[in-house]
Amino acid sequence: MNRFLHTIIGRFSRPSTDNQPSLRTAYAILTYLLILPVMAYFAVQGLRDVPFQGSHLFYQICAWLGLSAVPLLPAWLFAVLGGEPGRRVWRWICWGLAGLLAGLATILLLIDIGIHRQFGFHFNGLVLNLLTTPGGFESMGLDYRTLAPAAIAFLLVLALHLTLALTMPRATWLRRLASSRKLPRRCWWAIPALALLSAVFTFGIAEFYQNSLITSATDTYPIPMQVRMRKFLKSLGCQAPPRTARRFEQNKTMRLNYPWAEITRTTPSNPPDIIWLCAESLRSDLLSPERMPNTWRFASEHGIRFPNHFSGGNGTRAGRFSMFYGLHPNAWHGFLNNNLGPLFFNWLQQDNYILLAQTSAKFTYPEFDRTIFSSFPAESLIEQRQGEPWERDIRAIDTLLQALQNRDPARPYFGFIFFEETHAPYTVPPDHAPFQPFMENLNYTNVSATDRDLLYNRDANAAHHLDSHLARVFDFLQQSGRLDNTIVVVTGDHGEEFYEHGRLGHNSTFVREQTNPVLVLHLPGVAPAVYEHLSHHTDLIPTLAPFLGVTSPAQDFSVGGNLLDPAYRRQYYLSFGWDTGVFANANGKLLLPISLKSRYARNRLSTFDDKPLDSSLEDDFYRDNAAALQAAKDEMMRPLKH
């Protein structure tokens, strides 16, 4: 690899009597100069409407100079090949391909600029689908009056680059330029290379020192450039800064359009305590009188049960993001790069809540310490890491109950626990196995669909054991008399599949088993009930907000709604994976083309209960659900617009 790179670089720089290497140098410099103004758009976006900071300006300049070379690398490679001695036809083909690739790179960047200006995100599978699906142009507000000038401009750009490449070997003025001593021969390429390296290094330092002005700027470029250098910097003796509370009004540099209006809120005279109990992969049908009898009884006597509740994702990152922010998880990276927590915790801190968040996993993966809990002081984040998952879960409940007993009664309390024993491999104490038979030793190398019932019973045993300790929390709240002024949330981040549709676990598809978690809400003054309508993780914060004195409509800070409002009835929901997503309503489920993975996936269309439909029906689904799909697209884009 090193020899190959040395050869390529040498082709651009070594002297020669026929000026071919110098011509290649001239071509590389000219194309680089042509693309710099195009890439300057992204640098300007990164500098717009932010406070001046020298390191941020340095990063933007380096990123601009460095990333501008990346789209041209294929064209430069063919320019190298075209300058080699050989048949004239071969040389013309290589120079022509160099011009074609440079032109296409420029055109794609121009298209990305148009998308970014309009929607605030870069070219992805969603845009590709809009461009290739009937009616897609119209849904983006495009017609011939827009497309014709754009097409002409793109053809001119392509013609310019082809002309430049094909005239390189014969143009007299280029030969004079190539032979000029003023033209850098050996070191011109060091400018973009060193700039790119400097930008990467600057980003790594900014990430280490929590400089959100720089880390958030990376989203403005269509070429991702994110790196962590924590171990390296620590080895040099650098120390990470102490955790600080970050609130929305304190950050003026975010690349987010959120919230969408000033929030009107008055601190309640008697703010409720909030106990939020979230279990990994706790699918909805585990909540039953047999599998989780204590939670079932608590829901029946004191809470609202939501059997048709869906997560914002089929994984932990998306599920917990949607439940705490009330937004779709496609906005995750915007909040991560800005180290911003939810408005929900901003309200609690304004009301002087005692905060305690525990997990039997880690807060750093996914990066919840930099998103959901970024405003929590370090002492309020406890990771239970010793022992089996079920032992960690017990210890987390012990810690919560002790904290509730020793709390300052003059301050309201928020306690969160993320339980892990219902996550694979679904561990339980050896003597706790009420559901038989079950898979005693889970070995993924030989497990198959024939083990479905054994696997499910293993998970049910874990849920049953967890339920026996959730009962301790319920009993404490009732016996202490605090339940009447306590909000209790019992839920899962997402669901779990046991080969019902051919998969095991989660993070793979958006079938009900993977996206339908438990949800039980106890709300002060609200009678027990069963909510049969559709509900979603993004509805949680809008439902709790009025109990925290929020009088602003949910539409000002969430894509969800208040489930206690009789006028609110959800008609569809969205759920996301890492690079896929689904739109679901009574008419069916459609994979959202937010990446090539989902665009070319099998079974892109299904019924609401996950029966596959022929892909030939997609056009009909798009047409029949056009209004809802447009609304869903608007929800996805809303917090990302500049």
**66-82: pLDDT as tens digits:** 999 999 999 888 887 76
In angstroms, the CA 543 to CA 552 distance is: 12
Tell me, what's the pLDDT at 580?
82
For residue 329 the two structure tokens come to: 């998880």
Interval 349-404: pLDDT, tens: 999 999 999 999 988 878 898 899 999 999 999 999 899 999 999 999 999 999 99
Tell me, what's the pLDDT at 243?
54
642 with 45: CB under 8 angstroms?
yes
User: Can you state the percent helix, strand and coil of the chain, rounding each to 5?
Assistant: 50, 10, 40
**Percent of the chain with pLDDT strictly greater than 70:** 82
Tell me, what's the pLDDT at 184?
56
Give, as one character, the DSSP assignment of residue 582. Answer: E
**Percent of the chain with pLDDT strictly greater than 90:** 48
560 with 325: CB under 8 angstroms?
no
Alpha-carbon dihedral sign for residues 357, 362, 368, 370: positive
Tell me, what's the pLDDT at 83?
60
Tell me, what's the pLDDT at 174?
59
Strand, helix or coil for residue 49:
coil
Tell me, what's the pLDDT at 215?
73
For CATH 3.40.720.10, the residue range(s) in the chain are 273-570
User: What does the pLDDT average to over 549-554?
Assistant: 97
For residue 127 the two structure tokens come to: 């845009």
- Give phi and psi for 497, each to the nearest 5: -105, 145
Q: Could you tell me which residues come within 8 angstroms of residue 66 by beta carbon, excluding any fewer than 6 positions away? A: 192, 193, 194, 195, 196, 197, 198, 199
User: What does the pLDDT average to over 332-341?
Assistant: 87
With cut-offs at 50, 70 and 90, classify the pLDDT of residue 249.
Answer: very low
Top pLDDT among 398 and 138 is at 398
Class level of CATH domain 273-570? alpha beta
In angstroms, the CA 568 to CA 512 distance is: 23
| β-strand partners of 521 | 304, 489
Tell me, what's the pLDDT at 344?
98
Tell me, what's the pLDDT at 552?
97
Tell me, what's the pLDDT at 17?
39
